[in-house]
Amino acid sequence: DAGVIQSPRHEVTEMGQEVTLRCKPISGHDYLFWYRQTMMRGLELLIYFNNNVPIDDSGMPEDRFSAKMPNASFSTLKIQPSEPRDSAVYFCASSDRHYGYTFGSGTRLTVV
């Protein structure tokens, strides 16, 4: 298996623009998680899905953030409009409950 695949690896955008981050989980995993990592706040859980249904989105910082999982093999995290304070590394992880999370390589987002 290719693991959890995130795209793009790096994204530089201007303040106010829409940003879409993408994730392909491991086939057969029924949980998907979005985390944000910054020096100041460490790893923050933004939202997680079970069987494509959002279970807990209490970590989504503002209405500017939204996440979808239209099917078992794809999820997106969208920021609209983006702000400089959104600059971070965003990780997607998937799990089948038994073996722990498998993380993607992350998307480094820079908003200028």
**Choice between 48 and 65, CB closer to other proteins:** 48
**Choice between 70 and 99, CB closer to other proteins:** 99
User: CA 13 to CA 110: how far, in whole Å?
Assistant: 6
The distance of closest approach from Cβ of residue 53 to other proteins in the complex, given in angstroms and rounded to an integer, is 13
Binding site for other proteins (CB under 8 A): 4, 31, 33, 42-43, 45, 48, 50, 55-56, 91, 93, 95, 97, 99-106
The distance of closest approach from Cβ of residue 81 to other proteins in the complex, given in angstroms and rounded to an integer, is 27
- Which structure tokens are listed for 62? 């503002």
**Choice between 83 and 95, CB closer to other proteins:** 95
Return all residues near 26 (Cβ < 8 A) that are at least 6 apart: 1, 3, 4, 94, 96, 102
The distance of closest approach from Cβ of residue 55 to other proteins in the complex, given in angstroms and rounded to an integer, is 8
User: CA 108 to CA 37: how far, in whole Å?
Assistant: 9
